[in-house]
Amino acid sequence: MHTLVFATNNPHKAQEVEQILGPGFIIKTLKDIGCLEDIEETEPTLEGNALLKARYVKEKYGYDCFSEDTGLEVEALDGAPGVHTARYAGEGRDPEDNIKLLLKNLEGKSTRKAQFRTVIALLMKDQEILLQGICPGSIATQKHGTGGFGYDPVFIPEGYTDTFAVLGYDVKNKISHRARAIAQLLETIRANSTESL
């Protein structure tokens, strides 16, 4: 068993990462290491916020760890909501409100192309490593499905005709931005580790 500290408060992300990694790994989240405070994401980029969260945990709690920041980047909106994805419709961070605003802002646009981008910051043996995973796709014209979280009811990954919320975790966790970023994370940990992961 290998234990990895994942600097997140988002239970959906932790659950996805556990499923992506499979049974050989134990994931410890912020709650599990006793970090109950909110780490404010004040940086203007996904990279900056991912580093900020991982550095906070390393400095305050002493753990090697990884964190991730994910943004939905929509072509017709010049890459928005991007770093503001969680708070697109306001500080309430309400997924319903976020989706409503996104659909409204896309009305009449000639393209609905979008991508999810996950940036991982890995702090390991005094190194800071940034990795990313991208999932290209498009935004549906209305919500479909009940699975997943966040924007999953309106995100259709490239090569499919249904949203992540319809496709479910079995498909999502094979092809998603997060799955792609975690594949890179594993490769990087393996390359830097003497243990066999």
Which residues here bind ligand ITT, judged by CB under 6 A? Answer: 8-10, 13, 41, 69-70, 85-86, 95, 148-152, 176, 178
User: Maximum CA pair distance of the chain?
Assistant: 54
Q: Which residues contact 118 (CB under 8 A, 6 or more apart)?
A: 46, 68, 69, 70, 132, 133, 134, 176, 177, 178, 180, 181
Q: Is 16 exposed, middle or buried (0-12, 13-18, 19+ CB in 10 A)?
A: buried
Task: Please give the single-letter amino acid code of residue 174.
Answer: K
- Between 164 and 189, name the residue whose CB sits nearer to ligand ITT: 164
Q: Are 8 and 67 in contact (CB under 8 A)?
A: yes
Catalytic residue among 32, 64, 69, 152: 69
Please say which residue, 70 or 132, places its beta carbon nearer to ligand ITT. 70
69 catalytic per annotation: yes
C-beta of 66 vs 189, nearer to ligand ITT: 66
Residue 102 CB, shortest distance to ligand ITT, in Å, is: 11
In angstroms, give the least distance from the CB of 148 to ligand ITT.
6
Nearer to ligand ITT, 81 or 189 (CB): 81
Q: Indicate the SS3 state at residue 27.
A: strand
Smallest distance, ligand ITT to C-beta of residue 195, A: 26
Q: Could you give the angle at which helices 177-191 and 164-175 cross, rounded to 10 degrees?
A: 20
State which residue, 92 or 191, has the beta carbon closest to ligand ITT. Answer: 92
For residues 178 and 50, give the distance between their C-alpha atoms in angstroms, rounded to a whole number. 13
**Cβ of residue 112: shortest distance to ligand ITT, in angstroms?**
16
| Four-residue CA torsion sign, 90, 156, 139, 52 | positive
* Cβ at position 196, least distance to ligand ITT in Å: 29
Q: Which residues are catalytic?
A: 69
